Every structure is written in C-alpha cells, then in structure tokens.
A = this chain, B = another copy of it.
Amino acid sequence: MGRLVFMTEGFGFYEMTNEIREWVKSLDLKDGLLTLFVRHTSASITIQENADPTVLQDLLKALRMLAPEEGGWLHDDEGPDDMPAHIKTMLTGVSLQIPVVEGELDLGTWQGIYLAEHRRAPHRRSMTLHYLGT
C-alpha cells in the first residue's frame, strides 16, 4: 500500500502514469491487480489518450457541458464550481483497477492514467495505491 499526494493547479487532467509505473517497479511487483483510489469527492481518476494534449482540453470542455456551472444547483457553498465538481466525479469515478502483467502495467499503447481536478482552485489530492498479487 502506498499513497501519492499531489498538488493540483485547478481544473485539469494531471498525468500520473510515470509515478505509478515507478511505484510498481520499486516494489518489484510481478502479477496482480493495482487499485488507484482517489479519496475525494471533487477529483477523480481516468485512463485517457496521452498523445495529443488537445484531447485533454476537449475532455474538460465535455465535462463542463455535462455539468455546467449555471445549473441552478442547490449546493453552492463553495462557489459555482462546487456542485459541478461532484457531478464530474460521479461520472468519471474515484476507483480504477489496472492489471500488472509480468511486472508491467497492462496499459495499451495510447493509454495514460490521469488524476482529474474538478475544482477551479489548486487542491492537495491524495490517492491510495493498493496492490494484490505477487
């Protein structure tokens, strides 16, 4: 079990693939299941294309369309980005599992692992890395 703590700079996708790959290497893991668990309700985790950075811009735009700030939300204690952040987290999820096969994360060629920050302001985010296997 490990924990990654990460400062975000507000809205955005933050690639964690290398950090996670290094963790797998450092523990000399062979075959098993890696769980990434984000311990928040306004940040999430997803696998996405890591080649063209405009993909990430478009994903942010899509999330903004799916969970607009102008939604007339009841819950707005922390500002107009508060409730949309919860909706975006529900849609993208906080728990992700990746097989480890022969010592490697079993990602496809174009897959990268991203922490998604759904709040405007920078936040300190904590993610658990949990492993079962050999």
Contact = CB atoms under 8 A, between A and B. Distances in A.
Nearest to A37: B99
A90 interface: yes
Interface string A67-97: 1000101110100000100110111111111
A111 to B, nearest CB: 6
Given A62-B87, A90-B48, A95-B97, A111 B40 contact: yes
Copies in the assembly, this chain: 3
Query: Taking chain A's interface residues, is the majority helix, strand, or loop, or is none over half, making it mixed?
Result: mixed
A15 interface: no
B92 A47 contact: no
B108 A39 contact: yes
